[in-house]
Structure 1
Amino acid sequence: MLVYSVLDWLDLKSGIFLFFVFLLLADLITNRNPPNFPPGPWPLPFLGNVFIGFDHHAMDKVAKQFGNVFSLRWGTDKIVFVSGHKMVKDVLVTQGDIFLDRPLSPLFNEVFKGRGISVSNGYTWRRQRQFSLAHLKHFGEGKRTLEYHIQLECSFLCETFQQEMGGPFNPHVIINNAAANVIGSLVFGKRFDYDDIDFQNLLKLSQESILLAGTPLAQMYDIFPWLFKRLPGPHNIIFSNYARLISFLRKEIEKHKRDWDPLNHRDFIDTYIAEIDKKKNDIEAGFNSENLAFCTLDLFEAGTETVTNTLRFALLYMMKYSEVQEKVQDEIERVIGLSRQPCMTDKINMPYTEAVLYETLRVANLVPLNIPRISSKDTIVGGYFIPQKTVLVTNLSSVLRDKTEWEKPEMFYPQHFLNEHGHFCKRQAFFPFSAGKRMCLGEQLAHMELFLFFTSLLQRFTISPAPGEEPILEPQGSAVLSPKPFKICVSSR
């Protein structure tokens, strides 16, 4: 009897062993790389390279070992990473049409389901982006409409800063409201008071979701959705937050429909409602009320978070590098003075201020790893074979800190954007908004806001750290970087 028990145990043990050997062989055969595929670290069976990390620091380390074009495996998905200005430009610009589409992300597909601008593809994406760009251009033309709205918000921003004088305060909420109100004027046709509790809560939902989306657990949801959707985690908070945001936007859309005037389009929502009727026979273009909510969400989030975080970083750098702040203020006094409000025509005469803002965008490195792309056909990148339907990620951080392109890539150095005569000059490796046909459609709006907000604040105030505190430049987040909470003191000039 004992002998039979031992034999049964050995048979069970052998069976389990053989089963795992079979799984390992199946994993190796199923996930073997095609010839001349980009190299990368050896993946663990079933898990791949998930323990390497997901942020740009981890990707920089792998690039040092395997070069500017390498591959990782997350679960069963192969992902190619591209670093350095030359290679990233090749993917986004030279071969931009091949890498135009974005792969399906289980996390964000649960929210967007292919709707909106940021995650849609093909004909639908082209029509939605084209329409949104046309609206931004139209709104910015005629009677300086866009500039007027930004200047108006600059007044509210400065007044609120004035009220905070006398002690240290966290400028995050104030700046976030100002940025949100500019994009709100384009989208909703109105601004919200800084003490509007409901609006504050919505902004917090958006900020929380963006931070959580970059956490390792949220990234794991994208790799193993069949497992993590059954477990608690940050993905549940993200889904809940976006459900509330979409609910708010749907209510705003219904309000617009009730008092919609076909002869007077006040904002993006009004114009989109008119387009729904125009494109009713073109179903594939995606003009419908549900898609309107998600396009509005795309514009609102992108237009709020980029400006908010860049301006917060700019204040940090002004506190850290007081000599830079003094030079900016000297230029403001010389060109604008201390009495009239800054306007966009001043910009051409303020090369140093513009260089400071561009350098802020470079060093802040807000979106270090670009949103993934997927190849539409077989191609070659950096001498390696990239098969059709390969997911590829461009490391924008590596471009903004490329040692072959920047004199002092790790330093805050506004002279990067000034020539020998002190004139402002753009740089080819300036990719904070990505590049190519899918680059951020709100780049020009962001530059306008940053210039007017920044000059308005430094015209009226000197920014200094809270007593006993040293500015912390190390950011928080992973997918999107932002400053850690900090306080400032302001004094009138």
Structure 2
Amino acid sequence: MELGGAFTIFLTLCLTCLILLIAWKRADKGGKLPPGPTPLPFLGNMLQIGYNKTYESLLKLHKKYGPVFTVYMGPRPVVVLCGYDALKEALADQGDYFNGRGEMPSVDRNFQSYGVAMASGERWKILRRFSLSILRDFGMGKRSIEERIQEEAGFLLEELRKTKGAPIDTTLYLSRTVSNVISSIVFGSRFDYEDKQFQTLLAKINESFTEMSRPWAQLYEMYSGIMKYLPGRHKYLYNLIEEIKEFAVQRIKISEASFNPQNPQNFIDHFLIKMHQEKNNPDTEFNTQNLITTTVNLFFAGTETVSSTLRYGILLLMKHPDVEAKVYEEIRQVIGPHKIPSVNDRPKMPYTNAVIHEIQRMTNIVPMGVPHVVTQHTHFRGYFLPKGTDVYPLIGSVLQEPKNFRYPNVFYPQHFLDEQGCFKKNEAFIPFSHGKRNCLGESLARMELFIYFTAIIQNFSLRSVVPLAEVDITHQISGFGNIPPPYQVCFIAR
């Protein structure tokens, strides 16, 4: 009996090892991948990376293995790119080979390669070209995007005045105002700030971005093949995103009910026109799945990344009142106390522009970038990357690169100023990524950040509820995205 039990255990161990070996062999795509830490079967480089500080762990490996190295996220090999030179060479110089969308298991089930953010190949090219053209059309329409931002900035200032200097958490205030800009473009209308459905939706978007950045999500990126069959927190993120998709479906139905192809009012209307034009094309990318998912992509990215940057920026300015004072003085001299800020003011305001750039650099909103995949067999820096190799372009490694930024871990607006105090561009400033898959909403985001920050400092001084020495500017969560810590601030009318 004991012998039989021992034999069963031995047989189970052999079978387990065989399964792990098969999985490992399947993960080995051949080629000559860059060197990296030695992986273990199935576990990969879990011991070196962990699951709660992935970005920080990859930076440590960068110091040992250089700007290009390979790690195994579980059984899956991933080539990691660090520093501006490596990212430029891959994403810009060899962009046609590196422009596929890599695996993101924590959200892949929701999007299934549909939508402009998660698509690859011809689908991505078609959807990106279309989305950019619509954003440009809105920028040149009867009511420009800048005017929409200025209007929303006015609503935000009104809400901040109502606080009468009482301490507040800025999360909902900033999410509402930023989201209404992209809402007016995608849906054709803004939401009332007190709309409960709107507030619930924003909470889900904020929570989704936070969930994507938690340790369990980083663990899921490594072991999705097993974890997708198990109960756990990853089910919660899936449900959150499905609820956001359902909201998009509802808004699409509203647009369909009032749809007039002769007078399109928003992004959805323009997409519906293309769907009608190509209804007899069985291979068209203008279908319901891509409409729903692209709508979610634009709405999500247009809400969370800018609002999180604003939140972190207000925290940094509160921590550094001397910087806030210099920004206000420049606003006073260039714009004055009453004129609504405009992007035309930006070239005349080098210090304010430098501060906003430094805020973006320090926020480092998506430090690991969004995964790419090579679309064909590719030679890169003496290595051979087989088609389908996943690539992590570490955006944060560029924004914190000592050779490009004198004090990489310090808030120092002079990074973007020359000796005469004029604004100085820095090619390593790539918070929107680099190459052909850079953020398609970059121009919109830059416009929003300038107008919002300038309008806020023009009208309010920032006061902390705790001594400045106790103001914590450390990111609360650092994973897929960097989440600002919670804080309260008083907006004192000037």
Where on the TM-score scale, by shorter chain, does this alignment land: which range?
Answer: over 0.9
Instruction: Tell me what 2:165 maps to.
Output: 166
Instruction: Tell me what 2:364 maps to.
Output: 365
Which consecutive residues of structure 1, in runs of 5 or more, have no partner in the other structure?
none
- Give the C-alpha shift of residue 181 in structure 1: 0.4
How far, CA to CA, are the matches of 1:349 and 1:151 in structure 2? Answer: 18
Change in 2 beyond 3 A, CA 1:29/1:367 = closer
Change in 2 beyond 3 A, CA 1:145/1:26 = closer
Asked if 1:184 corresponds to 2:180, the answer is no
Mapping 1:48-447, distance limit 5 Å: 48-51=44-47, 52-54=49-51, 55-143=54-142, 145-447=144-446
Q: TM-score, normalised by structure 2?
A: 0.94
Q: State the SS of the aligned residue for 1:475.
A: coil
Would the aligned equivalents of 1:128 and 1:285 in 2 still touch at CA under 8 Å? Answer: no
Instruction: Tell me what 1:492 maps to.
Output: 493
Change in 2 beyond 3 A, CA 1:488/1:285 = same
How far, CA to CA, are the matches of 1:8 and 1:231 in structure 2? Answer: 31
Would the aligned equivalents of 1:123 and 1:284 in 2 still touch at CA under 8 Å? Answer: no
Letter in 2 for 1:346: D
Q: Which moved more, 1:456-465 or 1:18-27?
A: 18-27
Change in 2 beyond 3 A, CA 1:167/1:374 = same
How far, CA to CA, are the matches of 2:406 and 2:222 in structure 1? Answer: 38
Change in 2 beyond 3 A, CA 1:419/1:255 = same
Number of residues of Structure 1 aligned to a counterpart in Structure 2: 489
Instruction: Tell me what 2:37 maps to.
Output: 41
- Give the C-alpha shift of residue 260 in structure 1: 1.3
Listed one character per residue, the Cα deviations across residues 382-405 of structure 1 (whole Å, up to 9, x for unaligned) are: 333222221111111100111111
- Give the C-alpha shift of residue 340 in structure 1: 1.6
Instruction: Tell me what 1:475 maps to.
Output: 475
- Give the C-alpha shift of residue 33 in structure 1: 7.7
How far, CA to CA, are the matches of 2:101 and 2:333 in structure 1? Answer: 47
How far, CA to CA, are the matches of 2:14 and 2:192 in structure 1? Answer: 67
Listed one character per residue, the Cα deviations across residues 20-54 of structure 1 (whole Å, up to 9, x for unaligned) are: 66567656766568564211112222221124235
Letter in 2 for 1:208: E
How far, CA to CA, are the matches of 1:41 and 1:455 in structure 2? Answer: 47
Q: State the SS of the aligned residue for 2:101.
A: coil
Q: State the SS of the aligned residue for 2:69.
A: strand
How far, CA to CA, are the matches of 1:378 and 1:335 in structure 2? Answer: 53
How far, CA to CA, are the matches of 2:161 and 2:328 in structure 1? Answer: 18
- Give the C-alpha shift of residue 109 in structure 1: 2.3
Would the aligned equivalents of 1:116 and 1:128 in 2 still touch at CA under 8 Å? Answer: yes
- Structure whose alpha-carbon radius of gyration is higher: 1
- Give the C-alpha shift of residue 421 in structure 1: 2.2
Listed one character per residue, the Cα deviations across residues 346-371 of structure 1 (whole Å, up to 9, x for unaligned) are: 11111111111111111110000011
Q: State the SS of the aligned residue for 2:427.
A: coil
- Give the C-alpha shift of residue 290 in structure 1: 3.1
Q: State the SS of the aligned residue for 1:98.
A: helix
Q: Which moved more, 1:48-57 or 1:74-83?
A: 48-57
How far, CA to CA, are the matches of 2:280 and 2:253 in structure 1? Answer: 22
How far, CA to CA, are the matches of 2:99 and 2:244 in structure 1? Answer: 28
Letter in 1 for 2:491: V
Percent identity of the aligned residues?
Answer: 37
Q: State the SS of the aligned residue for 2:100.
A: coil
Change in 2 beyond 3 A, CA 1:195/1:283 = same
Listed one character per residue, the Cα deviations across residues 326-345 of structure 1 (whole Å, up to 9, x for unaligned) are: 11000000001002211121
Q: Which moved more, 1:450-459 or 1:137-146?
A: 137-146
- Give the C-alpha shift of residue 206 in structure 1: 1.2
How far, CA to CA, are the matches of 2:7 and 2:260 in structure 1? Answer: 78
Letter in 1 for 2:493: S
- Give the C-alpha shift of residue 222 in structure 1: 3.6
How far, CA to CA, are the matches of 1:212 and 1:18 in structure 2? Answer: 37
Change in 2 beyond 3 A, CA 1:459/1:20 = closer
Change in 2 beyond 3 A, CA 1:125/1:50 = same
How far, CA to CA, are the matches of 1:129 and 1:33 in structure 2? Answer: 30
- Give the C-alpha shift of residue 80 in structure 1: 0.9
- Give the C-alpha shift of residue 408 in structure 1: 1.6
Q: TM-score, normalised by structure 1?
A: 0.94
How far, CA to CA, are the matches of 2:287 and 2:167 in structure 1? Answer: 47
- Give the C-alpha shift of residue 84 in structure 1: 0.9
Q: Which moved more, 1:252-261 or 1:372-381?
A: 372-381
Change in 2 beyond 3 A, CA 1:260/1:36 = closer
- Give the C-alpha shift of residue 96 in structure 1: 0.8
- Give the C-alpha shift of residue 9 in structure 1: 5.9
How far, CA to CA, are the matches of 2:242 and 2:12 in structure 1? Answer: 45
Would the aligned equivalents of 2:31 and 2:385 in 1 still touch at CA under 8 Å? Answer: no
Would the aligned equivalents of 2:104 and 2:221 in 1 still touch at CA under 8 Å? Answer: yes
Q: State the SS of the aligned residue for 1:284.
A: coil
Q: State the SS of the aligned residue for 1:42.
A: coil
Letter in 2 for 1:81: V
How far, CA to CA, are the matches of 1:461 and 1:326 in structure 2? Answer: 11
How far, CA to CA, are the matches of 2:263 and 2:26 in structure 1? Answer: 58
Would the aligned equivalents of 1:319 and 1:463 in 2 still touch at CA under 8 Å? Answer: yes
Listed one character per residue, the Cα deviations across residues 436-473 of structure 1 (whole Å, up to 9, x for unaligned) are: 11100000000111111111110010012114463221
How far, CA to CA, are the matches of 1:414 and 1:33 in structure 2? Answer: 45
Q: State the SS of the aligned residue for 1:408.
A: coil
Q: Which moved more, 1:42-51 or 1:205-214?
A: 42-51
CA RMSD of aligned residues (A): 2.1
Q: Which moved more, 1:323-332 or 1:413-422?
A: 413-422
Change in 2 beyond 3 A, CA 1:487/1:419 = same
How far, CA to CA, are the matches of 1:458 and 1:415 in structure 2? Answer: 19
Change in 2 beyond 3 A, CA 1:351/1:27 = same
- Give the C-alpha shift of residue 93 in structure 1: 0.5
Would the aligned equivalents of 1:88 and 1:394 in 2 still touch at CA under 8 Å? Answer: yes
How far, CA to CA, are the matches of 1:489 and 1:305 in structure 2? Answer: 22
